[in-house]
Structure 1
Amino acid sequence: MTNPTEIKALVFDVFGTIVDWRSGVAREASAFLQRHAPSLDAFAFADAWRREYSPSMEEIRSGRRPYVRLDVLHRENLVKVLERSGIAGVTDAEIDELNLAWHRLDPWPDALGALNRLKRRFIIAPLSNGNIRLMVDMAKRAGLPWDAILGAEVVRAYKPSPQVYSETVDILGLAPAELCLVAAHNGDLAAARRLGLSTAFVVRPTEHGPNQKTDLKADEAWDFVVGDLNELASQLDASID
């Protein structure tokens, strides 16, 4: 287990851990579907779009495709979902606008207060598969108080590829254990732990909706296991004071 006093920076998974992607994408999709496919459910549409997320990145992780930013993948995936849903006649401008749904996601209720608490003692930054412009737009809209924007586009690789974690440690000039990944996804944390990072699991039991089956509990003895980000901030405060 990591000595909490060693931690100097916290990096965060964003989609699902910091922001509620499903509700945000469904909100943006709802108006679009009213125009083009009023019988379709906006949450089902958001889920279908998200299901393309990991397979599209795997093409890059595997080396079958050169790196492209997530905005590009999201747009390609959206076109696939539109075609599969039988939605035709959508203009490029409408597709581009709906693709920006991922830039306009709302944080979970605990996120802003906890991030501002943590920022007083630690460097805080996203370690997301989202590209830089996406992360900046989201942060400015939601008030996320990042010290830097880190993640996939910075290292031109997608989690859980090892270089995402190791190169982020190097960028921050830290030893691996001095950097703690905070995520609601056990797989992300497992990849970080293999590179020596500290780990914090925060449960988000409705990330995938009311019938979520995955990541409902910690699969390993992570350095921190918390119910929300305020609990993490309190534990880190107690370990340092």
Structure 2
Amino acid sequence: MKNFNNIKVLAFDVFGTIVDWHSSIVKELNNMRLSVDANQFALDWRAGYRPVMDKVISGEGHWSSIDDIHRLILDDLLIKYNIFYLSEEQKIHLNLVWHRLNPWNDTVEGLNKLKDKFIICTLSNGNIRLLVDMAKFSNLPWDYIFSAENFHAYKPSPKTYLGVAELLNVYPNQVLMVAAHHSDLVGARSCGLMTAYIERPLEFGISVQKDVSPRTDNDFHALDLLDLFDKLRN
């Protein structure tokens, strides 16, 4: 039988769970006055990074930071969308938009409330500098930042989930993985972690309908971080 009172650490996915990457990127593209469908460009940029990481996981590719992966995808998208007029400085600035993503409305308050009772940390495929910059930009009060870069392994590698437990000196079942993506939670459960699903129905914008219905395999299902706080408090 699971002991919910045994939870010591909350490990959070970041992109989509903590920050609203889609609207942040759309806003940046519009501010730059690029003649593109900003919604589709943002979706294409996000969709491109998983295939690259899967090649690394399978051994076909070499380890790369998410910053480097984002830049590779961006360069391809600029060609696809016939954008040939950006300077290198503009390309670098645009690529670093992933460091400047805005949090969901409940994020900062929810994290601060959860931090009072638990150790809160990231567990993200984002690289360390990206996550540090994002935390400073959005006032995210992490106790610690764990990145795939710490383990040279991307989620859902067991090295990531078990690495958090090991480095924080807790058992895997004392870690609650919090994410808006069921695939992430499946990986966490396979390593003995507890799991909480956060609904983010607008993660991909209004043009994409995201299924946020509950799944019985998860230990918690919450509307947002404030709802998760209430569930963990009860």
Tell me the TM-score normalised to structure 1 length: 0.93
Which residue number in structure 2 is paired with residue 68 of structure 1?
Answer: 64
Which residue number in structure 1 is paired with residue 114 of structure 2?
Answer: 118
Letter in structure 2 aligned against 1:10: L
Which residue number in structure 1 is paired with residue 167 of structure 2?
Answer: 171
Letter in structure 2 aligned against 1:30: N
Moved more, 83-92 or 9-18: 83-92
Shift of 1:86: 1.4
Q: Deviation string for 1:177-223 (max 9, x for gaps)?
A: 10000001011000100000010001101101124344422333311
Which residue number in structure 1 is paired with residue 98 of structure 2?
Answer: 102
Q: Match of 1:149, SS?
A: strand
Q: Sequence identity of aligned pairs in percent?
A: 44
Contact 1:186 1:215 in 2 (8 A): no
Which residue number in structure 1 is paired with residue 125 of structure 2?
Answer: 129
Which residue number in structure 2 is paired with residue 222 of structure 1?
Answer: 218
Which residue number in structure 2 is paired with residue 86 of structure 1?
Answer: 82
Where does the alignment leave 5 or more consecutive residues of structure 1 unmatched?
A: none
Letter in structure 1 aligned against 2:9: A
Letter in structure 2 aligned against 1:116: N
Take 2:49 and 2:61, find their aligned partners in 1: how far apart are those partners? 15
Which residue number in structure 2 is paired with residue 17 of structure 1?
Answer: 17
Which residue number in structure 2 is paired with residue 54 of structure 1?
Answer: 50
Letter in structure 2 aligned against 1:97: H
Which residue number in structure 1 is paired with residue 182 of structure 2?
Answer: 186
Count residues in correspondence.
234
Q: Match of 2:61, SS?
A: coil
Take 2:211 and 2:187, find their aligned partners in 1: how far apart are those partners? 15
Q: Deviation string for 1:102-144 (max 9, x for gaps)?
A: 0001110111111000101110011111111100101001100
Which residue number in structure 1 is paired with residue 233 of structure 2?
Answer: 237
Contact 1:2 1:223 in 2 (8 A): no
Contact 1:185 1:215 in 2 (8 A): no
Take 1:226 and 1:31, find their aligned partners in 2: how far apart are those partners? 33
Go from structure 1 to structure 2 and tell me whether the alpha carbon gap of 1:194 and 1:221 turns closer, same or farther (over 3 Å shift): same
Contact 1:186 1:218 in 2 (8 A): no
Equivalence map 1:201-212=2 (5 Å): 201-212=197-208
Take 1:2 and 1:66, find their aligned partners in 2: how far apart are those partners? 39
CA RMSD of aligned residues (A): 1.3
Letter in structure 2 aligned against 1:75: R
